[in-house]
Amino acid sequence: FDFCQAEGKKRPSENLGQVLFGERIEPSPYRFTFNKKETCKSVCTKTYDTTKPEDKQKLDFLKKSMLLNYQHHWIVDNMPVTWCYDVEDGQRFCNPGFPIGCYITEDGRPKDACVINSEFHEKDTFYIFNHVDIKIYYHVVENEALGARLVAAKLEPKSYKHTHPDNPDCTGVPMDISNKASGEVKIAYTYSVTFHEEKNIRWASRWDYILESMPHTHIQWFSIMNSLVIVLFLSGMVAMIMLRTLHKDIARYNQMDSTEDAQEEFGWKLVHGDIFRPPRKGMLLSVFLGSGTQILIMTFVTLFFACLGFLSPANRGALMTCAVVLWVLLGTPAGYVAARFYKSFGGEKWKTNVLLTSFLCPGIVFADFFIMNLILWGEGSSAAIPFGTLVAILALWFCISVPLTFIGAYFGFKKNAIEHPVRTNQIPRQIPEQSFYTKPLPGIIMGGILPFGCIFIQLFFILNSIWSHQMYYMFGFLFLVFIILVITCSEATILLCYFHLCAEDYHWQWRSFLTSGFTAVYFLIYAIHYFFSKLQITGTASTILYFGYTMIMVLIFFLFTG
């Protein structure tokens, strides 16, 4: 964008999480001195001659950004500069960014931010916010010798057509850029800054006013109650089946020991000779289980730290950095779990197993990520990841994660295979004709609904925080939902597994993985719905990026739930 640039200042360095999320911090041309009030100070003036093609292109780019409601995001002392305005029911909403400008349509309807000022009324016209009134609130530290701390920074975007750009006075009509305008357009950027002492806000709780203005806590409690009801219902079902049916079955077998009619077996007892028959594609299943374990532990630890407040929005990029580092360090459990299961499935090719565990799922994620990065790079986006960071990520993967996976696999293969309580018959049993709901596909599709019901409200807020620049800070809720999700996945799978074992279908390994893993498919459907109903994304590149990143999340979620 063609705004005022800061001359000769160095860019601050970003951490891994910020680089991956595409956050780039640039130095600013707006200079403040503490407690020095400025009124209507000029920053720079940009002149566009619409007869010149390069100037016209810059101005058109600016217009397009106003049409799509692009936002400035400014930081002072690691605090977002917020724009607070009144919304309905007397509440104030604090937006951590403010729009570049706004547009009045051809039939005179104000779009987005144009509703804030009745002076914006020219039809088919853009109004650019070229002046900001910044208020900085500080808190004088009493017990220490000297100094004050910044506790809030707020601004009001204004639009003025400065008649004398060299000596601006910040009064008069708004800065309008007519859509049909030709000739010369001059935009003078100015700012005012005032300092106010604020005794009531403590420095430690200075983020609260941004978070309070994000409503939705009552929706959260509602969703938690909703999820808990599902969990109770499932736990009741599982407990009932375990106690009643199994108790009855076992009692019946114990009675039969005395008599000679032990031949007539029924239900799940019939498949005891086939239940531990190794699944088809056992290699792939063991690799998925290894990667899933890695993701499960990573998610648990990351959310646990986030709950303790280490990964709040104030530490920019901390969440992503923490997740990536943990994922790299958790290669050992992945290798171990994959090896144990592969060995118990009677697999011999242990080298292939280790290599697949360390390269298959991370490789898919990295390839997807790399393609997305190529698109960003081709579009000339600032969110494209520099080559150095890509090399660093590959180094983390190859030099730390892979060796750790090998160590885990070594211990997994050294241990004896998991002992099965019953022998497997030589000849596989015939599976009888299944009823509709014990067939594999309907069972798998049903299994994903319940876990998805637990998470979909949280999912809405998470997608908002990724795609709509809202802050996500409800990690306590998220941790609760995570625990509930783990329980629901397990219980739904146990239930459906019991049903199809009773119907004498003994292929349970893949089915149990896919039953809860199918939640990821619902996640994908929800993401598609979110894309069409909530986001106004135009352009092929943006659409490919949205779905590319969504596929990464879906794959990780699939392995995790499975």
Q: What pLDDT is attached to residue 529?
A: 96
pLDDT value of position 523: 97
Residues 79 and 192 in one domain: yes
- pLDDT on residue 413: 93
Q: Are 392 and 324 spatial neighbours (Cβ–Cβ below 8 Å)?
A: no
Encoded amino acid at 224, one letter: I
- Provide the pLDDT for residue 553: 96
Q: What is the mean pLDDT of residues 492-514?
A: 91
What does the pLDDT read at residue 366? 96
What's the domain count of the chain?
A: 3
Strand partners, 42: 190
Taking the C-alpha atoms of residue 430 and residue 473, their distance in angstroms, rounded to an integer, is: 53
Region 361-388 average pLDDT: 92
> Quick one: what percent of the chain has pLDDT higher than 70?
96
Return d(Cα 354, Cα 348) in angstroms, integer.
12
What does the H/E/C string look like for 346-386? Answer: CCCCHHHHHHHHHHHHHHHHHHHHHHHHHHHHHCCCCCCCC
pLDDT value of residue 265:
67
Q: Are residues 39 and 162 in the same domain?
A: yes
Report the distance separating Cα 263 and Cα 452, nearest Å. 43
pLDDT tens digit sequence for 150-204: 999 999 999 998 888 888 888 888 999 988 878 888 999 999 999 999 888 888 8
* Residue 256, in any domain of the structure: no
Residues 153 and 111: their CA atoms lie apart, in Å, by 26
Quickly state the pLDDT bin for 263 (edges 50, 70, 90): low
CA dihedral 247, 251, 254, 255 (to 10 degrees): -170
Residue 226 within any structural domain of the chain: yes
Q: Which domain holds residue 93?
A: 31-212
How far, in Å, CA of 106 to CA of 114, rounded?
14
Nearest Cα to Cα of residue 117 among 136, 134, 131, 106? 131
Give the chain's mean pLDDT: 88
Q: What are the pLDDT digits (tens) for 90-144? A: 778 888 889 999 999 999 888 888 888 888 888 899 999 999 999 999 988 877 6
- What does DSSP assign to residue 399? I
Q: Quick one: 52 and 193 in the same domain?
A: yes
The answer to the question of residue 357 being in a domain is yes
Do 234 and 199 reside in the same domain of the chain? Answer: no
- Does 261 score more than 60 pLDDT? no
Strands (E), 112-234: 125-128, 131-140, 148-158, 176-178, 184-197
Q: Determine the pLDDT at residue 191.
A: 94
Quote the DSSP letter at residue 205.
G
Cβ–Cβ < 8 Å for 85, 92: yes
Q: Beta strand 148-158 with 131-140: parallel, antiparallel or unpaired?
A: antiparallel
Do residues 444 and 547 share a domain? yes
Residues 233, 201, single domain; the answer is: no
Per cent of the chain over pLDDT 90 is 47
**Widest CA span of the chain, in angstroms?**
108
The answer to the question of residue 247 being in a domain is: no
Look at residue 16 and tell me if it is in a domain: no
Residue 387 in domain: yes
Residue 397: the pLDDT is 95
Q: Looking at residue 376, what is its pLDDT?
A: 92
Give pTM, 2 decimals.
0.88
Final residue of a structural domain among 175, 193, 212: 212
